[in-house]
Structures are given as structure tokens and as C-alpha cells.
């Protein structure tokens, strides 16, 4: 299973990693934040999260994310990676 890095950000106060991969026809997005800023926001130094998008719903993401036609796992996105929320920087 190929994992794709969607976003990475690291400072002395926070490290953010978000990856995506396909599990069959489902798109899985997983993230992991760790550091002082996370502890201030959530009361623990690390925070994990994930979203699973089912096959029928993945198709809806193409136009929303300005993704070109699906060609297997390789699709290109015309938008730059988003910045982390200000309260985490």
C-alpha cells in the first residue's frame, strides 16, 4: 500500500504529519500531531485522527479538490498544501 504525504510541518513546538492511502476503493486520511502546542490545545502531547472516505464518496472529491480524471492511484491536485491552523503554529 502506497502512502502519500499530504502535509508535514515541524517546529520546536509542534510536528504535524498527514498522510493518505487507498484501502481497496476507500481513501484513508490519517494525521498525527505532537508537541507543546497540541498539549496546550488538547491536554495531551499527541493527537491522532483519521477519516475514511468510501468509494462512492471519493468520486465527489475530484471536482471539489480540482483533481484531474482518476488514473489509478495517480491523480494530480492543482492546489498547494494548506497551512496549519494559526492556533497550532
What is the phi/psi pair of residue 20, to 5°? -135, 150
Q: What is the pLDDT of residue 68?
A: 62
Instruction: In whole angstroms, give the CA distance from residue 59 to residue 87.
Output: 32
Q: In this model, does residue 48 exceed pLDDT 90? A: yes
- What is the pLDDT at residue 64? 77
C-alpha span between 82 and 79 (Å, rounded): 9
Sheet holding 15-23, edge to edge: 3-10, 15-23, 26-34, 46-53
pLDDT for 84 beyond 60: no
Specify the pTM. Answer: 0.66
What pairs with residue 67 in β-bridges? 77
Is the pLDDT confidence value at 78 over 50?
no
pLDDT of residue 85: 56
Given a cut of 60, whether residue 54 has pLDDT beyond it is yes
Amino acid at each position: 500500500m502506497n502512502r502519500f504525504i499530504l502535509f508535514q510541518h515541524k517546529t520546536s513546538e509542534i510536528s504535524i504529519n498527514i498522510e493518505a492511502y487507498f484501502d481497496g476503493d476507500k481513501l484513508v486520511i490519517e494525521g498525527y500531531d505532537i508537541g507543546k502546542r497540541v498539549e496546550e490545545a488538547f491536554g495531551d502531547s499527541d493527537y491522532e485522527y483519521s477519516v475514511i472516505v468510501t468509494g462512492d464518496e471519493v468520486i465527489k472529491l475530484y471536482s471539489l479538490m480540482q483533481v484531474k480524471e482518476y488514473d489509478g492511484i495517480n491523480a494530480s491536485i492543482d492546489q498547494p498544501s494548506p497551512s496549519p491552523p494559526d492556533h497550532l503554529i
